[in-house]
Amino acid sequence: MRNLGAGVRKAAHAVGALLEDPAQGLDWFRNGFEIVRGLPGGRGEGLYRPSEAPQRRLHELLGASWPCEFQDEFDVLWNSVVTSLEAQGSGFGERYDSDVALAEANWCCVRHLRPERVVETGVARGVNSRVILEGIERNGTGHLWSIDLPPVPDGWRTQSGAAVTQSLRGRWTFLEGSSRRHLTPLLADLGSVDIFIHDSLHSAANMRFEMSTAWPHVRRGGVMLADDIESNPAFALFTRTVPSSPMLVARQDAMKRGFFGVVVKA
């Protein structure tokens, strides 16, 4: 009965969103349909084993020195992000917040690659967005484009991007809605990207769509990161199509207990 009640509440939120913003409401319904439909063959937990010393391996793939020269910067930044969210009274570490392991990988990619164009899907309260933007700001160059369909519950909708400070927003373009609606035209407009990050709806269909759509636009030497890859086999199947591009699998922290993957375009 509890699950039924939660489902009814989510449906009511989606109906309300459809009335407020028809395009966004339809995005929620389509995403819900993808989740319910799922993928024959089940989840992907058994497909992934974390790479040994994944942070060191990441730096090898990036051609960057190890230990990371930007580690101290990240530690200070991460504490600031967590503290700022807690100060807003919203807490930290809830369902949609990024974990520290993925945020650290994003930070290292941004600081070492000095990207001009970064695209991410999935924002929620903007923890990863804040980390990426802080790195771009310290580099003195670059821009982040974020695509996100905010979670249906009212609390999450009103907190969308809350971790991103006003001083960073000049380097940020936020596209509200699903990646199905925004990703293809955005990439066509940008031409190429240095870093692409998937962290939106983790259905197999959506992950396949995002990775296959973004990969042709990732420059040589650029990076694709995908979070929560244990949700289904999509990441494993994708990497088999690009065998010449080195990859790694890393474990999320104890908050999430899953995996994320990184592929560097050969």
pLDDT tens-digit readout, 140-177:
999 999 999 887 665 666 778 889 999 999 999 999 99
- Using CA atoms, how far apart are residues 36 and 109, in angstroms rounded to an integer? 34
CATH architecture of 2-264: 3-Layer(aba) Sandwich (3.40)
Q: Average of pLDDT values for 205-229?
A: 97
Q: Where are the domains of the chain?
A: 2-264
Collect all residues with Cβ–Cβ distance below 8 Å to 202 and sequence separation of at least 6.
Answer: 227, 228, 231, 232
Residue 239 backbone phi and psi in degrees, to 5: -65, -25
Q: Give yes or no for residue 4 having a pLDDT over 60.
A: no
Whether 6 shows a pLDDT value over 60: the answer reads no
Continuous H helices in 114-165: 127-139, 154-158
User: Across the beta sheet with 117-121, what order do the strands follow?
Assistant: 172-176, 143-148, 117-121, 193-198, 218-226, 259-264, 247-251
pLDDT for residue 28: 57
* Spatial distance between the Cα atoms of 59 and 44, rounded to a whole number of angstroms: 26
CB 118 within 8 A of CB 124: no
pTM of the complete model: 0.87
| 103: Cβ contacts below 8 Å, ≥ 6 apart | 74, 78, 81, 127, 128, 131
Task: Count other Cβ atoms within 10 Å, centred on residue 72.
Answer: 9
- If one compares 86 and 5, the residue with the highest pLDDT of the two is 86
pLDDT at 167: 97
Question: Rounded CA gap, 44 and 173, in Å?
Answer: 33
